[in-house]
Structure 1
Amino acid sequence: MTNINSLSIVVPVFNEEDNLPLLFGEINKALSSLDKEWQVIFVDDGSSDNSLQVIRSMGEEHPEVKYIAFAENCGQSAAFKAGFDAATTDVVITIDADLQNDPADIPALLREYERGYTMVIGWRQKRQDTLQKKVASKIGNAIRNKLSRETVKDTGCSLKVMDTKMVQKIPMLTGMHRFLPTLMKMQGATVSEVPVNHRHRQHGESKYGILDRAKATFLDLLAIRWMQSRHFRYSIKDRNL
């Protein structure tokens, strides 16, 4: 069993001004009854709307709100990495800012983590997306699993709980946030999947195109395969240090 005393929720943000107060309200509701210290680290990825101003205002009212603001747009992997590096808690939790992930699922993921895993990921059983996105996601998930030798049911779900020290060791290159389960396993993580809710986007627009992401993901898969082929771990029998 693993006891979690503190947690950080890392939220990459790019032009999500209308969703942010709603998201924090739902996170606060989901976590306020837990006997754990928590904070939300919003990472503004060079937003061109009022997202940063909204985050600053929430921070003035709520001490649990922390933020990092990039000078320019760097991408989701960079935003996650900045949040991971800033965390000093037992675990980090990742969640999207678009409200499609449900913060009410976080306690269930934490309970699963405390059973002894070092990573727990959400599995969106009932996707609330267009048919085109559902088909593209299903095909993409199958290809990713095949090429990366994985069995993950839902590689694209952003709702994840991870051991902080372990995830901080991951080499986060552009696009690597899509392969966090594989990268965590390379660090020795034990991974479990938990069914979670999935919702329609309420405000704003999706920040990616299906074809653009497919091209980038294929190149990233080649990088993952190379990393797996060159990865090593060692155990020490004796030392005098």
Structure 2
Amino acid sequence: MKKISIVIPAHNEQNNIHPLVNELQKVLNSTGYTFEYIFVDDGSKDNTLNEIKIQSEIHPEVRYLELSRNFGKDHALQAGLEMATGDAVITMDSDLQHPPEMIKEMLRYWALDYDVVYTYRAEANAHAKKYQRFSSKMFYKGINMLSDIELENGIADFRLLDRKVVDQLNLMDEYEIFFRGMVKWVGFKQKAIPYTPANRFSGEASYSFFKLIKLALNSMMSFSVRPLYAVTGIGLFFSLFSVLYIPYVFISYFFFGQTTASGWASIIATVAFFGGLQLFVLGVIGMYLGKLFMQAKQRPNYIVRSSNLVKTGNDLIEL
């Protein structure tokens, strides 16, 4: 009997743990597979960890990792993937917006020899705020234009990964992780299925607008050097454009007797524009250098504070 690991990162989700486990139990008990649930508490400030511990006492297949602080969702996913021992791993959110009943459809495609079964929103998320829908749309347009991968609009962290895909992902030693892009990058036989997100059962999303901007920038630069080519092209364009100023100077001097350009406002505007452009180009280069600096430190992507399991080979041993 094949085993399925379900990795669920959780950050301040105390009211969602019990309902989620109940829904998963209803769906999975009739699938013919064995399951393990690996909850990763990503530095929660509420009683999320206690709720997970209660569920682990009721259901022996529930395991948990408590991270020492909030490392971010992708790093929490990495921690769960590295501890998962199933023949396939399913990742999903803990707020019940990812419908548990879709797991059966994922398993059906997995049985048809698909290595990756991932989901994307079938339509605009009506439950999200306007700025979240707009920023999400711009994010996917930007990453598809500036990176070497292509992501569907609304692609989610609700996916099934075959063991061989998980093994490849675990080999990647990267400081800044973007799993949605990494899963597409590794290739294999993939199947996309649409889903309609449900209402969040409880709590508020922890991603702010500025966190989304940071995520977008990091994601675009993690899979391509096209931003460097883009700013190089911008610099080259304005350098060539400035050459056109030379004929203007000669014409003004020989035909109109003007030795200096009139108007200080246009000069100040030009200096300010090119000064801002230079800072922008330096900023892009600096972000790439910053990524190299953080990668060279080789700090761990996460630290486990406590857990009820230990991994030995391909097996998990409960403490």
Which shifted more, 60-69 or 217-226?
217-226
Tell me, yes or no, if the aligned pair for 2:7 and 2:92 is still in contact at 8 Å: yes
Corresponding residue number in structure 2 for 1:36: 33
Change (3 A) 1:209 1:178: farther
**Equivalent of 1:173 in 158, 172, 175:** 175
Deviation at 1:38, TM superposition (A): 0.7
Q: What does the per-residue CA deviation read over 1:93-147, in whole Å, with 9 as the maximum and x for residues that have no partner?
A: 0101111111111111111222221111012113232232222212211222222
The letter of the residue matching 2:137 is K
Instruction: State the partner residue of 2:141.
Output: 142
Pick aligned residue for 1:67 from 64, 69, 78: 64
Q: For residues 191 and 94 of structure 2, what CA distance do their matches in structure 1 show?
A: 23
Equivalent pair of 2:176/2:218 in contact (CA under 8 Å) = no
Root-mean-square deviation over aligned CA pairs: 2.0
**TM-score, normalized by length of structure 1?**
0.85
User: Residue 165 of structure 1: CA displacement?
Assistant: 3.3
SS where residue 224 of structure 2 aligns? helix
- One-letter code aligned to 1:206: A
Please state if 1:25 is matched with 2:18.
Answer: no
- CA shift at 1:217, angstroms? 2.0
Structure whose CA Rg is larger = 2
Structure 1 unaligned residues grouped into runs of 5+:
227-241
- Checking the alignment, whether the CA contact within 8 Å between 1:10 and 1:95 is kept in structure 2 is yes
Evaluate the alpha carbon distance shift between residue 179 and residue 141 of structure 1 in structure 2; reply closer, same or farther with a 3 A threshold: same
Find the counterpart in structure 2 of residue 157 from structure 1: 156
Question: CA separation in 1, counterparts of 2:68 and 2:182?
Answer: 25
Which whole-Å CA distance do the structure 1 matches of 2:148 and 2:154 have between them? 12
Secondary structure, counterpart of 1:202 in structure 2: coil
Aligned to 1:238: none
Please name the residue that 1:184 is paired with. 186
Write the distance in 1 (CA, Å) between the matches of 2:23 and 2:119. Answer: 17
Q: Is the 8 A contact 1:100 1:200 kept in 2?
A: yes
1:57 CA drift (Å)? 0.5
Give the direction of change, closer, same or farther, for the CA distance of 1:192–1:152 in structure 2 (3 Å limit): farther
**CA 1:217/1:168 → structure 2, altered by over 3 Å: closer, same or farther?**
farther
Q: Which runs of 5+ in 2 are unaligned?
A: 226-319
In the alignment, the residues of structure 2 paired with residue 24 and residue 60 of structure 1 have an alpha-carbon distance, to the nearest angstrom, of: 12
Query: Hey, what's the Cα distance between the residues in 1 that align with 2:136 and 2:41?
Result: 26
2:12 and 2:135 mapped to 1: Cα distance?
24
Q: Name the amino acid aligned to 2:201.
A: Q
CA distance in 2, matches of 1:28, 1:42: 15
The answer to whether the 8 A contact 1:8-1:92 is kept is yes
C-alpha contact 1:87 1:164 (8 A) present in aligned 2: no
SS in 2 for 1:145: helix
C-alpha displacement of 1:202: 2.4
**Letter paired with 1:17:** Q
> Aligned pair 1:82/2:79, yes or no?
yes
Q: Which moved more, 1:55-64 or 1:193-202?
A: 193-202
Match of 2:10 in 1: 13
| Cα distance in 1 for residues equivalent to 2:153 and 2:26 | 26
What is the Cα deviation at residue 47 of structure 1? 0.9
1:156-235 aligned within 5 A: 156-170=155-169, 171=172, 172-185=174-187, 189-226=188-225
One-letter code aligned to 1:115: L
Secondary structure class of the residue paired with 1:112? helix
How far 1:155 moved relative to its partner?
5.4
Task: Classify 1:148/1:114 alpha carbon distance in 2 versus 1 (closer, same or farther; 3 Å).
Answer: farther
TM-score by length of 2: 0.65
Matched residue of 2:101: which SS?
Answer: helix
Corresponding residue number in structure 1 for 2:283? none
Moved segments of 4+, more than 4 Å: none
